C-alpha cells in the first residue's frame, strides 16, 4: 500500500528538528521507519510532515559517562549488538537487540524509535524498566530527563510531547554482583514476542539486594511486576520463592488474545520467560 502524501523535511540539527516539530502541527519524526512507515501504509498514521533525523550524527553512538552508558536515540539495533561497551557493561541491551525482528530491521531500526513508539510489543521499553533507565528529552522549553518508569503511559502513548525529541537513553553500568536475564518467546524469526521478560538482579552475598522484573507484550504497555520483586528482595532466593514470584508475574498479565495465542497461553509463557530470566540473572550475579 502507498501512504498518503506528506512533506519531507531534512533538519540540520536537533534544534532545527524541534523548530520544525513546533512549526508544523501534524509532523512526525522519521527514525528507522520500521514502525512508522508500515502504519502510514496502512493509513493508521497520516502525518502531513515527516522530519527525517537520520542525518543527525549527534544522535548516534554509545559512550560511557562514569557509571552510566549513554546511547544516542538514533543508534541502530545492530550498533547496539556490536557495541563492546554494552557487551561488557550492560549486556541485557545486547541480548534484547539480538532478538528484535530480522537483520534488515535491525540495520535501520533505532533504540530511540523503539522506545518512542510506545508499542507494547517492542522489547526495549521493558528492558529499560528492568534497568531503571533514564531518558533525555529535548523540546522548545529545553532539555528534561524522565525515568523509564514514568515514561510509558499506555499503548502507543508515552510522555513525549508532539514537539519533543528523545535524544539519549542512559543505562547504568552493570556492577559486580549484578546479573541479568532476557528470555523471549516468539513464533518465528522476525515476529514480535508472544511474551518476553528482562530481569536484573543485584546480590549482596546470597541475599537479593534488588530485583527488577519486566514484561513485553502481555499488557497494554511494557510493565514491571513489583509484587513479584517484593517477594524476592531482601531474601535468599529459593525455587519455592521463585514459584511464588511467578504466580505474581502471571497475575500482572493482561494480554490481548490474537494469532500469537489466547490469554491463558500468553500468561503461561510470560511466567515461563520470567522464570528463565530470573534463573539466568541469579547465575550471572553469582559469578
Ligand X SMILES: Cc1cc2nc3c(=O)[nH]c(=O)nc-3n(C[C@H](O)[C@H](O)[C@H](O)COP(=O)(O)OP(=O)(O)OC[C@H]3O[C@@H](n4cnc5c(N)ncnc54)[C@H](O)[C@@H]3O)c2cc1C
* Binding residues for ligand X (CB under 6 A): 28-36, 73, 100-101, 105, 109-110, 112-114, 116-117, 119, 122-124, 160, 165-166, 190, 192-193
* Closer of 160 and 278 to ligand X (Cβ): 160
Least spacing, CB of residue 165 vs ligand X, in Å? 4
**Which residues are within 8 A (CB) of 91 and not within 5 positions of it... i.e. 6 or more apart?**
174, 180
Which residue's Cβ has the minimum distance to ligand X?
113
Look at strands 27-30 and 49-52 and give their pairing.
parallel
Least CB distance to ligand X at residue 52 (A): 9
Q: How far is the CB of 105 from ligand X (least distance, A)?
A: 5
Here the cell at position 133 is 533507565
Nearer to ligand X, 156 or 265 (CB): 156
Q: Specify the residue for cell string 523540546.
A: 139
Q: Report the distance separating Cα 126 and Cα 235, nearest Å.
A: 24
Q: State in angstroms the smallest separation of the CB of 102 from ligand X.
A: 6
Radius of gyration of the chain (CA): 19
Pairing of strands 157-158, 223-224: unpaired
Output 160 or 245, the one with its CB closest to ligand X: 160
With vertex at residue 116, the alpha carbon angle to CA 112 and CA 21, rounded to the nearest 5 degrees, is 95
45 or 85: CB nearest ligand X: 45
* Smallest separation, CB 59 to ligand X (Å): 7
Q: Residue 9 or 34: which CB sits closer to ligand X?
A: 34
Task: Pick the closer one to ligand X by CB: 127 or 282.
Answer: 127
Q: Which is nearer to ligand X, 22 or 235 (CB)?
A: 22
Q: Rounded to the nearest whole angstrom, what is the least distance from the CB of residue 267 to ligand X in the complex?
A: 19
Q: DSSP 3-state helix, strand, coil percentages of the chain (rounded to 5)? A: 35, 30, 35
Q: In this structure, what C-alpha cell is assigned to residue 239?
A: 525455587
- Decide: 241 and 270 in contact? Cβ < 8 Å: no
Look at strands 62-65 and 68-72 and give their pairing: antiparallel
- In whole angstroms, the minimum distance from the beta carbon of 67 to ligand X comes to 24
- Cell 512533506 locates to 7
Q: C-beta of 191: minimal distance to ligand X in Å?
A: 7
Grid look-up 502471571 returns: 250
Among 84, 93, 87, 89, residue whose Cα is nearest residue 111:
93
CB 98 within 8 A of CB 83: no
Of residues 122 and 277, the one with the C-beta less far from ligand X: 122
Amino acid at each position: 500500500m502507498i501512504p498518503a502524501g506528506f512533506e519531507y523535511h531534512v533538519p540540520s540539527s536537533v534544534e532545527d528538528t524541534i523548530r520544525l516539530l513546533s512549526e508544523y502541527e501534524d509532523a512526525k519524526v522519521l527514525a528507522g521507519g520500521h514502525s512508522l512507515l508500515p502504519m502510514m501504509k496502512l493509513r493508521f498514521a497520516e502525518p502531513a510532515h515527516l522530519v527525517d533525523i537520520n542525518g543527525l550524527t549527534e544522535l548516534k553512538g554509545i559512550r560511557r559517562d562514569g557509571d552510566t552508558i549513554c546511547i544516542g536515540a538514533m543508534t541502530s539495533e545492530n550498533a547496539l549488538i556490536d557495541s563492546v561497551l554494552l557487551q561488557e557493561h550492560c549486556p541485557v541491551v545486547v541480548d534484547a537487540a539480538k532478538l528484535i525482528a530480522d537483520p534488515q530491521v535491525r540495520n535501520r531500526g533505532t533504540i530511540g524509535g523503539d522506545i518512542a513508539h510506545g508499542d507494547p510489543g517492542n522489547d526495549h521499553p521493558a528492558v529499560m524498566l528492568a534497568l531503571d533507565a533514564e531518558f533525555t528529552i529535548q523540546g522548545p522549553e529545553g532539555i528534561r530527563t524522565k525515568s523509564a518508569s514514568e515514561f510509558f503511559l499506555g499503548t502507543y502513548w508515552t510522555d513525549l510531547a508532539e514537539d519533543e525529541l528523545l535524544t539519549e537513553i542512559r543505562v547504568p553500568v552493570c556492577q559486580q554482583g549484578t546479573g541479568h536475564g532476557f528470555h523471549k518467546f516468539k513464533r518465528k524469526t522476525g515476529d514480535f514476542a508472544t511474551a518476553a521478560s528482562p530481569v536484573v538482579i543485584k546480590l549482596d552475598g546470597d541475599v537479593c539486594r534488588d530485583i527488577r522484573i519486566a514484561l513485553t507484550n502481555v499488557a497494554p504497555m511494557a510493565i514491571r511486576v513489583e509484587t513479584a520483586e517484593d517477594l524476592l528482595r531482601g531474601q535468599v532466593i529459593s525455587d519455592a520463592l521463585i514459584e511464588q514470584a511467578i504466580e505474581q508475574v502471571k497475575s500482572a498479565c493482561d494480554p490481548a488474545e490474537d494469532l500469537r495465542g489466547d490469554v491463558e497461553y500468553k500468561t503461561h509463557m510470560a511466567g515461563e520467560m520470567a522464570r528463565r530470566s530470573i534463573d539466568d540473572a541469579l547465575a550471572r550475579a553469582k559469578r
